[in-house]
Amino acid sequence: MSATAAQLSHVYPLGTRVNEHGRLEVGGCDAVELAREFGTPAYIVAEDDLRARARSFVEAMASCHSNFDILFASKAFPCTAVYRVLADEGLSCDVASGGELALALKGGFEAGRIYLHGNAKSETELREALAAGVGHIVLDSFDELQRLQRIAAELDCRQEVLLRVTPDVSGDTHAAISTGQADSKFGFGIDDARRAIVAVGEQPNLELVGLHCHIGSQLFELAPFRHAVEAIASLGDFPVYNLGGGLAAAYTASQHPPAVADYVDAVVTVAHDLLGTQKRLLLEPGRALVANSTVTLYTVETVKRNISTWVAVDGGMSDNLRPMLYGSVYEALIADRPLAPATERCHVAGKHCESGDVIVRDIPLPAPVPGDVVVTPVTGAYGHALANNYNGVPRPPVIFCRAGDARLVMRRETYDDLAGRDTS
Ligand code: LLP
Protein backbone atom coordinates (compact mmCIF):
# COMPACT_ATOMS: atom_id res chain seq x y z
CA MET A 1 0.00 0.00 0.00
CA SER A 2 1.23 3.50 -0.65
CA ALA A 3 -0.54 6.75 -0.05
CA THR A 4 0.04 10.43 -0.30
CA ALA A 5 0.31 12.89 2.55
CA ALA A 6 -3.00 14.34 1.40
CA GLN A 7 -4.76 11.32 2.83
CA LEU A 8 -3.44 12.06 6.29
CA SER A 9 -5.01 14.90 8.17
CA HIS A 10 -3.24 18.29 8.12
CA VAL A 11 -2.49 17.98 11.82
CA TYR A 12 0.58 15.77 11.21
CA PRO A 13 4.07 17.29 11.00
CA LEU A 14 5.36 18.62 7.71
CA GLY A 15 6.60 15.78 5.49
CA THR A 16 4.64 13.05 7.27
CA ARG A 17 3.59 10.35 4.81
CA VAL A 18 2.72 6.72 4.44
CA ASN A 19 5.88 4.98 3.21
CA GLU A 20 6.35 2.14 0.77
CA HIS A 21 5.79 -0.37 3.60
CA GLY A 22 2.41 1.19 4.27
CA ARG A 23 3.57 2.63 7.59
CA LEU A 24 3.54 6.11 9.00
CA GLU A 25 6.74 8.01 8.39
CA VAL A 26 7.64 11.17 10.36
CA GLY A 27 10.72 13.24 9.55
CA GLY A 28 11.68 10.51 7.08
CA CYS A 29 11.67 7.84 9.84
CA ASP A 30 9.39 4.82 9.99
CA ALA A 31 7.24 5.13 13.13
CA VAL A 32 7.20 1.37 13.81
CA GLU A 33 11.00 1.26 13.66
CA LEU A 34 11.24 4.32 15.90
CA ALA A 35 9.07 2.54 18.47
CA ARG A 36 11.33 -0.51 18.25
CA GLU A 37 14.53 1.50 18.56
CA PHE A 38 13.57 3.98 21.27
CA GLY A 39 10.70 2.21 23.03
CA THR A 40 7.33 3.78 23.82
CA PRO A 41 5.85 6.10 24.82
CA ALA A 42 8.07 8.54 22.96
CA TYR A 43 7.76 12.09 21.66
CA ILE A 44 8.83 12.25 18.01
CA VAL A 45 9.68 15.73 16.75
CA ALA A 46 9.95 16.47 13.04
CA GLU A 47 12.77 19.01 13.16
CA ASP A 48 11.96 20.43 9.70
CA ASP A 49 8.42 21.17 10.86
CA LEU A 50 9.71 23.07 13.88
CA ARG A 51 12.06 25.12 11.72
CA ALA A 52 9.42 25.75 9.06
CA ARG A 53 6.95 27.12 11.60
CA ALA A 54 9.59 29.40 13.11
CA ARG A 55 10.39 30.69 9.62
CA SER A 56 6.72 31.19 8.80
CA PHE A 57 6.36 33.55 11.78
CA VAL A 58 9.54 35.47 10.93
CA GLU A 59 8.68 35.72 7.22
CA ALA A 60 5.10 36.77 7.90
CA MET A 61 6.28 39.52 10.24
CA ALA A 62 9.07 40.64 7.92
CA SER A 63 6.58 41.02 5.07
CA CYS A 64 4.50 43.64 6.89
CA HIS A 65 6.60 45.25 9.63
CA SER A 66 10.30 45.99 9.97
CA ASN A 67 10.97 46.37 13.68
CA PHE A 68 9.91 43.10 15.32
CA ASP A 69 10.93 40.03 17.21
CA ILE A 70 9.35 36.60 17.54
CA LEU A 71 9.70 35.07 21.00
CA PHE A 72 9.40 31.33 21.57
CA ALA A 73 7.01 30.96 24.53
CA SER A 74 9.14 28.18 25.89
CA LYS A 75 6.64 26.88 28.45
CA ALA A 76 5.09 25.04 25.50
CA PHE A 77 8.09 22.73 25.01
CA PRO A 78 10.91 23.40 27.49
CA CYS A 79 13.43 20.91 26.14
CA THR A 80 17.03 22.04 25.54
CA ALA A 81 17.10 20.74 21.98
CA VAL A 82 13.94 22.65 21.10
CA TYR A 83 15.41 25.85 22.53
CA ARG A 84 18.55 25.17 20.47
CA VAL A 85 16.65 24.83 17.19
CA LEU A 86 14.55 27.93 17.78
CA ALA A 87 17.57 29.97 18.90
CA ASP A 88 19.28 28.80 15.73
CA GLU A 89 16.28 30.07 13.73
CA GLY A 90 16.90 33.52 15.18
CA LEU A 91 13.98 33.72 17.59
CA SER A 92 14.06 35.31 21.02
CA CYS A 93 12.66 33.57 24.07
CA ASP A 94 9.99 33.97 26.73
CA VAL A 95 10.73 32.17 30.00
CA ALA A 96 8.37 31.97 32.95
CA SER A 97 10.60 30.69 35.72
CA GLY A 98 14.21 30.34 36.81
CA GLY A 99 14.15 26.79 35.45
CA GLU A 100 13.05 27.87 31.99
CA LEU A 101 15.67 30.63 32.12
CA ALA A 102 18.39 28.07 32.86
CA LEU A 103 17.19 25.86 30.00
CA ALA A 104 16.98 28.76 27.56
CA LEU A 105 20.56 29.78 28.36
CA LYS A 106 21.71 26.17 28.04
CA GLY A 107 19.84 25.94 24.74
CA GLY A 108 21.83 28.83 23.35
CA PHE A 109 19.63 31.89 23.71
CA GLU A 110 21.68 34.99 24.38
CA ALA A 111 20.57 36.49 27.69
CA GLY A 112 19.74 39.77 25.97
CA ARG A 113 17.12 37.98 23.87
CA ILE A 114 15.34 36.51 26.88
CA TYR A 115 12.16 37.96 28.44
CA LEU A 116 11.28 36.84 31.96
CA HIS A 117 7.56 36.45 32.68
CA GLY A 118 5.64 35.17 35.67
CA ASN A 119 2.92 36.34 38.04
CA ALA A 120 4.83 35.22 41.15
CA LYS A 121 8.51 35.60 40.39
CA SER A 122 10.61 34.92 43.44
CA GLU A 123 13.46 37.03 44.77
CA THR A 124 15.79 34.24 43.66
CA GLU A 125 14.39 34.17 40.13
CA LEU A 126 14.71 37.94 39.79
CA ARG A 127 18.31 37.77 41.04
CA GLU A 128 19.06 34.96 38.59
CA ALA A 129 17.60 37.01 35.74
CA LEU A 130 19.64 40.08 36.62
CA ALA A 131 22.79 38.02 37.09
CA ALA A 132 22.27 36.43 33.67
CA GLY A 133 21.61 39.84 32.12
CA VAL A 134 18.21 39.06 30.60
CA GLY A 135 17.04 41.65 28.12
CA HIS A 136 13.66 42.32 29.66
CA ILE A 137 11.62 41.48 32.71
CA VAL A 138 7.86 41.66 32.31
CA LEU A 139 6.53 43.21 35.52
CA ASP A 140 3.36 41.62 36.80
CA SER A 141 2.56 43.22 40.17
CA PHE A 142 3.30 46.19 42.45
CA ASP A 143 5.13 43.89 44.87
CA GLU A 144 7.40 42.68 42.12
CA LEU A 145 8.03 46.23 40.95
CA GLN A 146 9.36 47.18 44.39
CA ARG A 147 11.26 43.92 44.75
CA LEU A 148 12.99 44.30 41.40
CA GLN A 149 13.89 47.94 42.07
CA ARG A 150 15.44 46.94 45.40
CA ILE A 151 17.51 44.12 43.86
CA ALA A 152 18.59 46.20 40.84
CA ALA A 153 19.68 49.03 43.16
CA GLU A 154 21.62 46.59 45.31
CA LEU A 155 23.37 45.19 42.22
CA ASP A 156 23.79 48.69 40.84
CA CYS A 157 22.26 47.85 37.48
CA ARG A 158 19.46 49.25 35.35
CA GLN A 159 16.87 46.82 33.98
CA GLU A 160 14.56 47.31 31.02
CA VAL A 161 11.04 46.20 31.84
CA LEU A 162 7.68 45.76 30.17
CA LEU A 163 4.43 45.96 32.06
CA ARG A 164 1.97 43.10 31.71
CA VAL A 165 -1.53 44.48 31.23
CA THR A 166 -4.78 42.51 31.49
CA PRO A 167 -6.94 44.41 29.01
CA ASP A 168 -10.26 42.90 30.16
CA VAL A 169 -10.72 40.98 26.95
CA SER A 170 -11.62 37.30 26.94
CA GLY A 171 -10.73 35.05 24.04
CA ASP A 172 -13.12 32.22 23.31
CA THR A 173 -11.19 29.37 24.91
CA HIS A 174 -11.14 27.05 27.92
CA ALA A 175 -11.44 29.07 31.15
CA ALA A 176 -8.17 27.63 32.46
CA ILE A 177 -6.19 29.18 29.59
CA SER A 178 -8.02 32.50 29.25
CA THR A 179 -5.79 35.21 30.72
CA GLY A 180 -6.98 38.62 29.50
CA GLN A 181 -10.06 39.07 31.71
CA ALA A 182 -10.03 41.73 34.44
CA ASP A 183 -10.49 39.21 37.24
CA SER A 184 -7.15 37.53 36.67
CA LYS A 185 -4.07 36.61 38.62
CA PHE A 186 -1.99 37.97 35.74
CA GLY A 187 -0.71 41.48 35.18
CA PHE A 188 -2.19 44.89 35.91
CA GLY A 189 -5.77 45.84 35.10
CA ILE A 190 -6.14 49.04 33.08
CA ASP A 191 -6.48 51.35 36.09
CA ASP A 192 -3.66 49.67 38.00
CA ALA A 193 -1.54 49.81 34.86
CA ARG A 194 -1.86 53.62 34.82
CA ARG A 195 -0.59 53.73 38.41
CA ALA A 196 2.15 51.19 37.69
CA ILE A 197 3.41 53.22 34.73
CA VAL A 198 3.85 56.21 37.04
CA ALA A 199 5.41 54.04 39.75
CA VAL A 200 7.99 52.47 37.39
CA GLY A 201 8.88 55.93 36.16
CA GLU A 202 9.88 56.83 39.73
CA GLN A 203 12.29 53.88 40.08
CA PRO A 204 15.89 54.86 39.36
CA ASN A 205 16.97 51.35 38.38
CA LEU A 206 14.04 50.38 36.13
CA GLU A 207 13.36 51.56 32.63
CA LEU A 208 9.88 51.03 31.25
CA VAL A 209 10.16 50.36 27.51
CA GLY A 210 6.70 49.04 26.75
CA LEU A 211 3.58 47.03 27.43
CA HIS A 212 2.73 43.36 27.17
CA CYS A 213 -0.58 41.55 26.95
CA HIS A 214 -1.48 37.91 26.43
CA ILE A 215 -5.19 37.27 26.29
CA GLY A 216 -5.27 33.49 26.20
CA SER A 217 -4.31 30.34 24.42
CA GLN A 218 -5.79 28.17 21.62
CA LEU A 219 -7.58 31.18 20.11
CA PHE A 220 -9.31 30.74 16.74
CA GLU A 221 -10.81 34.24 16.58
CA LEU A 222 -8.66 37.26 15.80
CA ALA A 223 -11.11 40.01 16.90
CA PRO A 224 -10.08 39.81 20.60
CA PHE A 225 -6.55 40.88 19.62
CA ARG A 226 -7.96 44.18 18.30
CA HIS A 227 -9.91 44.72 21.51
CA ALA A 228 -6.79 44.05 23.56
CA VAL A 229 -4.68 46.52 21.59
CA GLU A 230 -7.46 49.12 21.83
CA ALA A 231 -7.31 48.77 25.59
CA ILE A 232 -3.55 49.03 25.94
CA ALA A 233 -3.30 51.84 23.37
CA SER A 234 -5.17 54.04 25.85
CA LEU A 235 -2.28 53.76 28.33
CA GLY A 236 0.17 56.03 26.53
CA ASP A 237 2.85 55.82 23.90
CA PHE A 238 5.71 53.33 24.28
CA PRO A 239 8.47 52.08 21.98
CA VAL A 240 7.72 48.35 22.49
CA TYR A 241 4.49 46.33 22.46
CA ASN A 242 4.40 42.59 23.10
CA LEU A 243 1.07 41.20 21.94
CA GLY A 244 1.58 37.76 23.46
CA GLY A 245 0.88 34.36 21.94
CA GLY A 246 -2.34 32.42 21.71
CA LEU A 247 -2.79 31.40 18.08
CA ALA A 248 -4.63 28.08 18.00
CA ALA A 249 -3.22 24.86 16.57
CA ALA A 250 -5.31 22.27 14.72
CA TYR A 251 -5.62 19.14 16.84
CA THR A 252 -8.09 17.34 14.59
CA ALA A 253 -8.87 17.29 10.89
CA SER A 254 -11.98 19.39 11.41
CA GLN A 255 -10.11 22.26 13.09
CA HIS A 256 -8.84 25.08 10.86
CA PRO A 257 -7.19 27.86 12.88
CA PRO A 258 -6.06 31.02 11.07
CA ALA A 259 -2.84 30.53 9.09
CA VAL A 260 0.25 32.09 10.68
CA ALA A 261 0.43 34.68 7.87
CA ASP A 262 -3.22 35.70 8.36
CA TYR A 263 -2.83 35.95 12.13
CA VAL A 264 0.35 38.02 11.82
CA ASP A 265 -1.22 40.24 9.18
CA ALA A 266 -4.26 40.80 11.42
CA VAL A 267 -2.30 41.72 14.55
CA VAL A 268 0.14 43.93 12.67
CA THR A 269 -2.74 45.73 10.96
CA VAL A 270 -4.32 46.34 14.36
CA ALA A 271 -1.01 47.57 15.75
CA HIS A 272 -0.48 49.91 12.78
CA ASP A 273 -4.03 51.27 13.12
CA LEU A 274 -3.89 51.83 16.86
CA LEU A 275 -0.22 52.21 17.80
CA GLY A 276 1.34 53.54 14.60
CA THR A 277 3.79 51.90 12.23
CA GLN A 278 7.03 52.63 14.07
CA LYS A 279 6.73 50.51 17.19
CA ARG A 280 8.83 47.50 18.01
CA LEU A 281 6.32 44.64 17.90
CA LEU A 282 6.85 41.37 19.71
CA LEU A 283 4.82 38.20 19.36
CA GLU A 284 5.36 35.19 21.61
CA PRO A 285 3.78 32.06 20.16
CA GLY A 286 4.17 28.76 21.97
CA ARG A 287 1.60 26.29 20.72
CA ALA A 288 1.50 27.52 17.12
CA LEU A 289 5.27 27.04 16.87
CA VAL A 290 5.62 23.58 18.36
CA ALA A 291 2.30 21.71 18.69
CA ASN A 292 2.08 20.14 15.25
CA SER A 293 5.79 19.33 15.05
CA THR A 294 5.43 16.32 17.30
CA VAL A 295 3.61 13.00 17.57
CA THR A 296 3.57 10.57 20.48
CA LEU A 297 4.09 6.86 19.91
CA TYR A 298 2.47 4.35 22.27
CA THR A 299 2.25 0.57 22.32
CA VAL A 300 -1.10 -1.13 22.84
CA GLU A 301 -0.94 -3.35 25.92
CA THR A 302 -4.46 -4.71 25.92
CA VAL A 303 -7.79 -4.35 24.15
CA LYS A 304 -10.82 -4.78 26.38
CA ARG A 305 -14.36 -4.96 25.03
CA ASN A 306 -17.25 -4.28 27.39
CA ILE A 307 -19.76 -1.54 26.66
CA SER A 308 -16.99 0.26 24.77
CA THR A 309 -13.72 -0.91 23.26
CA TRP A 310 -10.84 0.18 25.49
CA VAL A 311 -7.47 0.26 23.80
CA ALA A 312 -5.05 0.63 26.68
CA VAL A 313 -1.59 1.97 25.89
CA ASP A 314 1.66 2.23 27.81
CA GLY A 315 1.42 5.97 28.55
CA GLY A 316 -1.44 8.35 29.28
CA MET A 317 -1.96 11.29 31.58
CA SER A 318 1.71 11.22 32.60
CA ASP A 319 2.79 12.18 29.07
CA ASN A 320 -0.35 14.05 27.91
CA LEU A 321 -2.32 15.75 30.65
CA ARG A 322 -4.32 17.94 28.27
CA PRO A 323 -7.38 15.69 27.83
CA MET A 324 -7.67 15.51 31.62
CA LEU A 325 -7.11 19.24 32.20
CA TYR A 326 -9.05 20.79 29.34
CA GLY A 327 -11.07 17.98 27.77
CA SER A 328 -8.80 18.35 24.73
CA VAL A 329 -9.60 16.23 21.70
CA TYR A 330 -6.96 14.30 19.76
CA GLU A 331 -6.76 12.00 16.76
CA ALA A 332 -5.01 8.63 16.66
CA LEU A 333 -3.95 6.05 14.09
CA ILE A 334 -2.06 2.80 14.04
CA ALA A 335 1.46 3.18 12.71
CA ASP A 336 1.65 0.09 10.50
CA ARG A 337 -1.74 0.64 8.84
CA PRO A 338 -2.54 4.33 9.14
CA LEU A 339 -5.06 4.37 6.32
CA ALA A 340 -6.66 0.96 6.84
CA PRO A 341 -10.47 1.09 7.06
CA ALA A 342 -11.48 1.73 10.65
CA THR A 343 -13.64 -1.09 11.89
CA GLU A 344 -14.30 -0.26 15.50
CA ARG A 345 -14.94 2.82 17.62
CA CYS A 346 -12.45 2.85 20.48
CA HIS A 347 -11.32 4.79 23.50
CA VAL A 348 -7.54 5.03 23.66
CA ALA A 349 -6.95 4.81 27.39
CA GLY A 350 -3.81 5.36 29.42
CA LYS A 351 -2.24 3.07 32.00
CA HIS A 352 -2.93 5.26 35.05
CA CYS A 353 -5.17 4.50 38.00
CA GLU A 354 -7.98 6.87 37.03
CA SER A 355 -11.00 6.34 34.81
CA GLY A 356 -10.50 9.81 33.36
CA ASP A 357 -7.13 8.81 31.98
CA VAL A 358 -8.33 8.59 28.36
CA ILE A 359 -6.14 10.10 25.65
CA VAL A 360 -8.60 9.87 22.75
CA ARG A 361 -12.31 9.14 23.06
CA ASP A 362 -14.53 7.51 20.52
CA ILE A 363 -12.08 7.21 17.66
CA PRO A 364 -12.52 4.70 14.81
CA LEU A 365 -9.48 2.40 14.55
CA PRO A 366 -8.71 -0.65 12.38
CA ALA A 367 -9.08 -3.64 14.76
CA PRO A 368 -6.37 -2.73 17.26
CA VAL A 369 -4.45 -5.56 18.89
CA PRO A 370 -1.78 -5.70 21.60
CA GLY A 371 1.61 -4.72 20.20
CA ASP A 372 0.22 -2.18 17.76
CA VAL A 373 1.96 1.20 17.78
CA VAL A 374 -0.64 3.94 18.28
CA VAL A 375 0.27 7.45 17.14
CA THR A 376 -1.34 10.61 18.52
CA PRO A 377 -0.38 13.80 16.66
CA VAL A 378 -0.10 17.40 17.91
CA THR A 379 1.66 16.63 21.17
CA GLY A 380 4.52 19.13 20.83
CA ALA A 381 2.90 21.86 22.89
CA TYR A 382 2.27 21.28 26.59
CA GLY A 383 2.89 17.52 26.22
CA HIS A 384 6.47 17.10 27.47
CA ALA A 385 5.90 20.39 29.34
CA LEU A 386 3.10 18.98 31.50
CA ALA A 387 4.54 15.46 31.78
CA ASN A 388 4.73 13.97 35.25
CA ASN A 389 5.60 10.81 37.14
CA TYR A 390 2.14 9.75 38.23
CA ASN A 391 2.13 6.08 39.18
CA GLY A 392 5.93 6.12 39.08
CA VAL A 393 5.95 6.20 35.30
CA PRO A 394 9.25 7.51 33.89
CA ARG A 395 8.80 10.43 31.49
CA PRO A 396 9.27 9.64 27.78
CA PRO A 397 12.28 10.46 25.64
CA VAL A 398 12.29 13.17 22.97
CA ILE A 399 13.54 12.12 19.55
CA PHE A 400 14.28 14.52 16.70
CA CYS A 401 13.78 13.14 13.20
CA ARG A 402 15.05 14.76 10.07
CA ALA A 403 15.56 13.39 6.55
CA GLY A 404 15.46 9.82 7.83
CA ASP A 405 17.86 10.32 10.75
CA ALA A 406 16.55 9.85 14.27
CA ARG A 407 18.41 11.56 17.10
CA LEU A 408 17.70 11.00 20.78
CA VAL A 409 17.81 14.49 22.30
CA MET A 410 16.40 13.65 25.73
CA ARG A 411 16.54 10.12 27.09
CA ARG A 412 13.72 8.30 28.84
CA GLU A 413 13.71 8.69 32.62
CA THR A 414 14.88 5.67 34.57
CA TYR A 415 13.72 4.19 37.86
CA ASP A 416 16.95 5.60 39.30
CA ASP A 417 15.81 9.05 38.18
CA LEU A 418 12.57 8.49 40.08
CA ALA A 419 14.55 8.00 43.27
CA GLY A 420 17.26 10.48 42.24
CA ARG A 421 16.30 13.15 44.77
CA ASP A 422 16.16 10.82 47.76
CA THR A 423 18.52 11.89 50.50
CA SER A 424 19.10 8.50 52.05
N1 LLP B 1 2.87 34.40 26.52
C2 LLP B 1 2.43 34.24 27.76
C3 LLP B 1 2.65 35.30 28.74
C4 LLP B 1 1.77 33.06 28.11
O5 LLP B 1 1.32 32.91 29.35
C6 LLP B 1 1.61 32.04 27.15
C7 LLP B 1 0.94 30.79 27.49
C8 LLP B 1 2.11 32.25 25.86
C9 LLP B 1 2.73 33.45 25.57
C10 LLP B 1 2.00 31.21 24.79
O11 LLP B 1 0.70 30.92 24.48
P12 LLP B 1 0.38 29.94 23.26
O13 LLP B 1 0.90 30.60 22.01
O14 LLP B 1 1.07 28.66 23.52
O15 LLP B 1 -1.09 29.81 23.27
N16 LLP B 1 -1.20 24.29 29.19
C17 LLP B 1 -2.20 24.92 28.34
C18 LLP B 1 -1.73 26.21 27.75
C19 LLP B 1 -1.29 27.23 28.77
C20 LLP B 1 -0.79 28.51 28.16
C21 LLP B 1 -0.04 29.31 29.16
N22 LLP B 1 0.48 30.55 28.66
C23 LLP B 1 -2.61 23.94 27.25
O24 LLP B 1 -2.05 22.86 27.19
O25 LLP B 1 -3.50 24.23 26.48
- Whether residue 174 is predicted with pLDDT greater than 80 in this model: the reply is no
**Residue 312 and residue 184 share a domain:** no
Average pLDDT over residues 26-46: 98
Atom of ligand 1 nearest to the CA of 117: 3
**Residue 389 and residue 258 share a domain:** no
**Residue 340 and residue 261 share a domain:** no
190 domain residue, yes or no: yes
**Residue 210 and residue 153 share a domain:** yes
Average pLDDT over residues 157-171: 92
Provide the pLDDT confidence category of residue 169 given band limits of 50, 70 and 90: confident
Distance 421 CA to ligand 1 centre (A): 29
**Residue 85 and residue 208 share a domain:** yes
Average pLDDT over residues 250-263: 97
Task: Report the residue among 181, 219, 287, 328 best suited for mutation to probe ligand 1: largest number of ligand atoms under 8 A from its CB.
Answer: 287
- Whether residue 154 is predicted with pLDDT greater than 60 in this model: the reply is yes
Q: What percent of the chain has pLDDT over 70?
A: 98
- Whether residue 6 is predicted with pLDDT greater than 70 in this model: the reply is no
Average pLDDT over residues 148-157: 98
Instruction: Using the 3D structure, point to which of 289, 308, 343 is the last residue of a domain.
Output: 289
Q: What pLDDT sits at residue 93?
A: 98
Average pLDDT over residues 192-200: 98
**Residue 348 and residue 221 share a domain:** no
Instruction: Using the 3D structure, point to which of 273, 289, 305 is the last residue of a domain.
Output: 289
**Residue 330 and residue 199 share a domain:** no
Query: Which domain does 313 fall in, by range?
Result: 5-46+292-418
Query: What amino acid positions are annotated as catalytic residues?
Result: 353
**Residue 204 and residue 233 share a domain:** yes
**Residue 272 and residue 326 share a domain:** no
CB environment 77-92: b (16+ within 10 A), e (fewer): bbbbbbbbbbbebebb
Provide the pLDDT confidence category of residue 2 given band limits of 50, 70 and 90: very low
**Residue 342 and residue 223 share a domain:** no
> Over the stretch 59-100, which tens digit does the pLDDT of each residue have?
999 999 999 999 999 999 999 999 999 999 999 999 999 999
CATH code, domain with 217: 3.20.20.10
- Whether residue 325 is predicted with pLDDT greater than 60 in this model: the reply is yes
Distance of alpha carbon 57 from alpha carbon 45, whole angstroms: 19
Distance 357 CA to ligand 1 centre (A): 23
Average pLDDT over residues 364-369: 97
Distance 92 CA to ligand 1 centre (A): 16
173 domain residue, yes or no: yes
**Residue 248 and residue 104 share a domain:** yes
* Average pLDDT along the chain: 96
Q: Vertex 225, ends 121 and 169: CA angle to 5°?
A: 65
Provide the pLDDT confidence category of residue 26 given band limits of 50, 70 and 90: very high
Pocket of ligand 1 (CB under 6 A): 73, 75-76, 94, 117, 177, 214, 217-218, 244-247, 284-288, 322, 326, 381-382
Q: What pLDDT sits at residue 121?
A: 98
> Over the stretch 386-408, which tens digit does the pLDDT of each residue have?
999 999 999 999 999 999 999 99
Provide the pLDDT confidence category of residue 424 given band limits of 50, 70 and 90: confident
Distance 246 CA to ligand 1 centre (A): 6
CA 199, 202, 205, 210 dihedral sign is positive
> Over the stretch 199-240, which tens digit does the pLDDT of each residue have?
999 999 999 999 999 999 999 999 999 999 999 999 999 999
405 domain residue, yes or no: yes
Provide the pLDDT confidence category of residue 1 given band limits of 50, 70 and 90: very low
Average pLDDT over residues 362-388: 98
88 domain residue, yes or no: yes
Q: What pLDDT sits at residue 4?
A: 44
Instruction: Using the 3D structure, point to which of 262, 289, 316 is the last residue of a domain.
Output: 289
Name the domain count of the chain: 2
Task: Report the residue among 139, 217, 326, 330 best suited for mutation to probe ligand 1: largest number of ligand atoms under 8 A from its CB.
Answer: 217
423 domain residue, yes or no: no
313 domain residue, yes or no: yes
**Residue 413 and residue 341 share a domain:** yes
